[in-house]
Amino acid sequence: MSDAAPSGRRGRSARRERRQSGPAGQAVPYISRNIPNYDVLSEEGVERIEANADRILAEIGLEFREDPEVLEIWKDAGAEVDGERVRFPKGMLREILKTAPSQFTQHARNSARNVEIGGNNLVFAPVYGPPFVTDLDQGRRYGTIEDFRNFVKLAYMSPWLHHSGGTVCEPVDLPVNKRHFDMVYSHIKYSDKPFMGSVTAPERAEDSVKMAQIAFGEEFVDQNCVMIQLINANSPLVFDSTMLGALKVYARHNQACIVSPFILAGAMSPVTVAGTLSQVLAEAMAGCALTQLIRPGAPVVFGAFVSSISMQSGAPTFGSPEGSLLLNGAAKLARRLKLPFRSGGSFTASKLPDAQSAQESAQTILATLHSGVNFALHSAGWLEGGLCSSYEKFVMDADQLGMMHVLAKGIEISEETLAMDALQEVGPGGHFLGAAHTQRNFEAAFYRSAIADNNSYEQWLADGELDSAARANSRWKEMLRSYSGPELDPGIDDALQAYITERKASFPDSNV
Amino acid sequence: MSDAAPSGRRGRSARRERRQSGPAGQAVPYISRNIPNYDVLSEEGVERIEANADRILAEIGLEFREDPEVLEIWKDAGAEVDGERVRFPKGMLREILKTAPSQFTQHARNSARNVEIGGNNLVFAPVYGPPFVTDLDQGRRYGTIEDFRNFVKLAYMSPWLHHSGGTVCEPVDLPVNKRHFDMVYSHIKYSDKPFMGSVTAPERAEDSVKMAQIAFGEEFVDQNCVMIQLINANSPLVFDSTMLGALKVYARHNQACIVSPFILAGAMSPVTVAGTLSQVLAEAMAGCALTQLIRPGAPVVFGAFVSSISMQSGAPTFGSPEGSLLLNGAAKLARRLKLPFRSGGSFTASKLPDAQSAQESAQTILATLHSGVNFALHSAGWLEGGLCSSYEKFVMDADQLGMMHVLAKGIEISEETLAMDALQEVGPGGHFLGAAHTQRNFEAAFYRSAIADNNSYEQWLADGELDSAARANSRWKEMLRSYSGPELDPGIDDALQAYITERKASFPDSNV
């Protein structure tokens, strides 16, 4: 993991680290795709979905629950408000969305780790939200703040994760109404990558902003995005007061909201891809537009957390082909609105870091890369449909993200890569290992997996017949053992701790 | 697996089978992609690779070893022949390739299972070539003819494999010089899907053709493709006499050759993607053109078996990102030659049906689908870089192929799929499970995996905490238990057996 460590190290240990994590040049603060987006939807198809969404918005409308202020905002903007139901005249939301930036910078406290969200860029962030954690040694249990810190450290150390994320697991050992302090603090303290704020209550959002102001400075935060937040729609066609409250806080402070319909098709949307996409578009447009009414120009991301359910058991399914099609279609819809797009990750319904988990995650992460996703939450660590953060899965997924970096570069064409000198030197029947061209290029040539075993069967037997989960188990423990954190200005650290102590003392613990 | 069985079954057992294998309508003899091809290479990039290949052909040339007849054919066609080295004036091979069909039908003995090779079609065939087999019960051992028959039966029963393949494993219990009889017979007897003939010696190729003539009729075989064969180049830039001998037999009999550079980049080609693609194009053009000189219009497929090696250990790697880029680029090169394209499959270097195997296979099979591959050998059962056929991996891969069928359909846009009636019926905050639209559409709505476990953690615990390999173990045994073969005309069966008996008696066993 040399690339996450301070530069300037030399010699054998730096070379050994390069061998493990790939050539130093491969670590980047985010992916800039050098490959085209893949679009499954035709122009005609996308236009019919857009027309369908316009009808949903105008004829059915959305509900904005228990938030009179938001209803007032919509009324003032020209929407038709009937109780909590809001209907939108055709074209109204598209007009409002014109003030939203198509790309923005999320600043990290280490500016070398700033990420660009939008355009042809792709940012990988870890798993978000699981109450449980698991590893091969201790098995499945509720997450704690120690687990939380561990996942922050693992994301910090991986050259393939660009972002520290948010609720990498729920620290269930802390009271619900105070754990946001420890979560935000851990992101700032144990990593210098960009991170996410709390959305579970408006006052927790305000606390998150306040802590960001301590870390980045008040004026800087007002003028720049330093946090990105996950605002889920309560699909179908509802936004609830918790999410609206958080959205308002962050938009007012110029911090980014990811407005994400959270949909399991068949239950929370129609059982078809085209119908679900229509609903996704309607919900995302309404939520994204609301941020622009609160603060025009505030960064906002079109989100889509979309999968399906088993129509036999009702269980959610992840990494399904329908999920990939939904992701691909939603990406196209977001691009046409000129909004950054969040979706994808390393989804699976599996309970183990087994073949099912890998197959479903690979299917999702490849769709993520090729569909043009800009911000991919849940890129590492997901198990059980998001109920469990897995240590082994985390490093297995991170390895897969490294492969996505290679795919995103596409095929480089130059005199050097065309390699005519190698072909001439070697000729028919020869081999290329010793060719001068190979010697010049082999170090950066191929992705080096930290998990895969490519050895012979005999060598693999001699190495203990480990499967990839067992190798991942060694890997994450080795990473945590060698963790060395980024420096944090002691004045900022003290101020953060003082703020947390004071705020925690000001109200009683509660698990609501 | 109802879709491989005779139609007409009704009632509870047919419904149960539909539930397991997906709706009956999903089984098709091959995939016709309703989605665009994904191209990583730009026009300029592909033109530079083509120019590079032209230089390789003209300046370096290829060797055609120990086959004076082939050298004579090249000389007559206008190539520059120097010993066994053959150089090709620019444009010569492209001109010769104009007689090759861009798409052709491979006939199966059950015409409902005929496959179209080329165009926007994709045919999945099983693993080819492993000397070893493995399953969770018996572990890894040499393959036998019983294993061979088992894999033929599994491919026959899966609705997602379109082809019976060739050497699904090596039946090492039979003499090398006679096992082709039993392999070809097993494909004809235990399946009615299309299959592949022997290429390990010209006389074994002749035996394969003879057996096809018994099964299909002599004149039919002369006028139609009933077998497809794998002809590997001995990369770099060599074709050996064994492969040339088989190529000549099949081309003369109007049977399809897949001319495949077999390349591990870094060892058998330059260490770069662009250099490797240049070599692939040169080798494939030369081999494919040779078939047209032997019989203009004979079906031929541009093949590319391309992966990379670990530049640290020298071990072959599979399912790598570079492998996906090579596959994607080669597909584009084949399309520009208007030739059908073979590549891809479910590659992995793993020794187990674990997460590594699933991740690498998923990465390859998705590249296979999206790059425009027409014939995908090794689509099910591969482990250990192709050294081992796995029973569990076979059914896990087949399940993944089912998902590819869904992705290939793309996103259907119609009044019914746009589902406005469902959205209007349900409205904000409702749920769709009971909607009339859901009731009309749920049966065919989502892919149903035969392997994935989407249940809750608690249910999964109660079900025995199985990983996907363990579920696959039950699955293949259940499939073999319920195997019921297609009928074979007793006259044909007797004639095949008589031919085999006579031929086997005519020369001594040998393991060369």
**pLDDT tens-digit map of A119-171:** 999 999 999 999 999 999 999 999 999 999 999 999 999 999 999 999 999 99
How many cross-chain Cβ pairs, A to B, lie less than 8 Å apart?
Answer: 401
Q: CB-hemisphere CA count at 13 Å for B470?
A: 9
Q: Taking CB atoms and an 8 Å limit, are B349 and A453 in contact across chains?
A: yes
| B317–A56 CB contact, under 8 Å | no
Residue of B nearest to A354 (CA): B355
Backbone angles phi, psi at B164, to 5 degrees: -85, -15
Residue B352: what are its φ and ψ, rounded to 5°? -135, 160
Dist CA A365 CA A373 (whole Å): 10
Answer whether B266's CB lies under 8 Å from B308's CB: yes
B208/B178 Cα distance (integer angstroms): 11
pLDDT in tens, B284-330: 999 999 999 999 999 999 999 999 999 888 999 999 999 999 999 99
Cβ contacts of B385 on chain A, cutoff 8 Å: 454
Q: Closest to A351 (Cβ–Cβ): which among B388, B406, B460? A: B460
Reported as a pLDDT band with limits 50, 70 and 90, residue B444 is confident
How do the domains of chain A map onto residue ranges? 96-409
Distances (CA, A) of B172 to B168, B202, B395, B512: 12, 20, 23, 12
DSSP state of A31: E
Q: Which residues of A touch B322 (CB under 8 A)?
A: 406, 445-447
Give the Cα separation of B217 and B236 in Å (integer): 39
Which pLDDT value is given to residue A393? 98
Which residue from B285, B336, B284 is spatially nearest to B305, judged by alpha carbons?
Answer: B284
- Cα A97 to the chain's mean position, in Å? 23
**Residue B3 banded pLDDT, cuts 50, 70, 90:** very low
Residue A240 binned pLDDT confidence (cut-offs 50, 70, 90): very high
Alpha helices in A8-42 (DSSP H): 11-21
Instruction: State the nearest Cα–Cα gap between A263 and chain B, in angstroms.
Output: 11
Q: Could you say which residues from 101 to 160 on chain B have a Cβ atom under 8 Å away from some Cβ of chain A? A: 140
Nearest C-alpha neighbor of B310 from the set A399, A442, A207: A442
Residue in the block written with tokens 């969404």: A53
Distance in angstroms (rounded) separating the CA atoms of residues B445 and B208: 43
Distance in angstroms (rounded) separating the CA atoms of residues B196 and B123: 13
In chain A, the percentage of residues whose pLDDT exceeds 90 is: 93
A359-369 as b/e: b if 16+ CB within 10 A:
bbbbbbbbbbb
Q: State pLDDT tens for residues B456-468.
A: 999 999 999 999 9
β-sheet bridge partners, residue A257? A229, A300
User: With contacts defined as CB-CB under 8 Å, which chain B residues touch A237?
Assistant: 427-429
DSSP B242: H
For residue A293, give the 3-state DSSP assignment: helix
Percent of chain B with pLDDT over 70: 95
What's the pLDDT at A311? 86
pLDDT at A13 over 60: no
Phi, psi angle pair for B373, to nearest 5°: -60, 140
Angle formed by the axes of helices B490-505 and B202-216, nearest 10°? 160
pLDDT value of residue A27:
77
Please calculate the CA angle B145-B146-B149 and round it to the nearest 5 degrees.
85
Beta bridge partners of A195: A165, A227
* CA–CA separation, B17 and A507 (whole Å): 59
Looking at domain B96-409, its CATH superfamily turns out to be Trimethylamine methyltransferase-like (3.20.20.480)
List pLDDT tens digits, range B129-142. 999 999 999 999 99
Taking 80 as the threshold, does the pLDDT of residue A2 lie above it?
A: no
Crossing angle of helices B179-190 and B145-157, in 10° steps, is 30
The mean pLDDT of A5-31, rounded to a whole number, is 51
Smallest Cα distance from B411 to chain A, Å: 7
| More confident call, A14 vs A285 | A285
Q: Are B222 and B212 in contact (CB under 8 A)?
A: no
Which residues are CB-contacts of B87 (< 8 A; sequence separation ≥ 6)? B57, B58, B59, B60, B61, B79, B80
How far apart CA A360 and CA B149 sit, in angstroms, is 30
Report the SS3 class of residue A462. Answer: helix
Measured CA to CA, the distance from residue B432 to residue B323 in angstroms comes to: 42
What are the chain B neighbours of A453 within 8 Å (beta carbons)?
349-351, 356
Place of tokens 């308002």: A248
Q: What is the mean pLDDT of chain A?
A: 94
CB B250 within 8 A of CB B197: yes
* pLDDT tier for residue A26 given thresholds of 50, 70 and 90: low
Q: Which of A268, A315, A422 sits opposite B431 (nearest CB)?
A: A268
Mean pLDDT to the nearest integer, A49-78: 98
Residue A304 has pLDDT above 60, yes or no: yes
Burial of B175 per CB tally in 10 Å (0-12, 13-18, 19+)? middle
Residue A390 DSSP SS3: strand
- Residue A100 tokens read as 């939203």
Read off the pLDDT of residues B49-94 as tens digits, 9 standing for 90 and up: 999 999 999 999 999 999 999 999 999 999 999 999 999 999 999 9
Burial letters A197-232, b for 16+ CB under 10 A, else e? bbbbbbbbbbbbbbbbbbbbeeeebeebbbbbbbbb
Partners of residue A45 in chain B, C-beta under 8 Å: 411, 413
Minimum mean pLDDT range among A12-16, B371-375, B492-496:
A12-16
Residue A245 has pLDDT above 80, yes or no: yes
Residue B369 neighbours by CB under 8 Å, 6+ apart:
B33, B122, B404, B407, B408
Q: Which 8-state DSSP code applies to residue A382?
A: E
Of B325, B359, B417, the CB nearest to A400: B359
Does this model's pTM top 0.90? My answer is yes
Say if CB A381 and CB A340 are below 8 A apart: no
**Cβ-count burial of B80 within 10 angstroms (0-12 exposed, 13-18 middle, 19+ buried)?**
middle
Residues of B in contact with A430 (CB under 8 A): 236
* Cβ contact, residue pair B45, A411, below 8 Å: yes
Contact B351 A419 (CB under 8 A): no
Greater confidence (B354 vs A25) lies with: B354
The alpha carbon of B311 is separated from its chain's Cα centroid by a whole number of angstroms, namely 28
B174 in helix, strand or coil? coil
Is the confidence at residue B19, as pLDDT, over 50? no
Which one of B388, B413, B447, B465 makes the best mutation probe of the A interface by having the most chain A beta carbons within 10 Å? B413
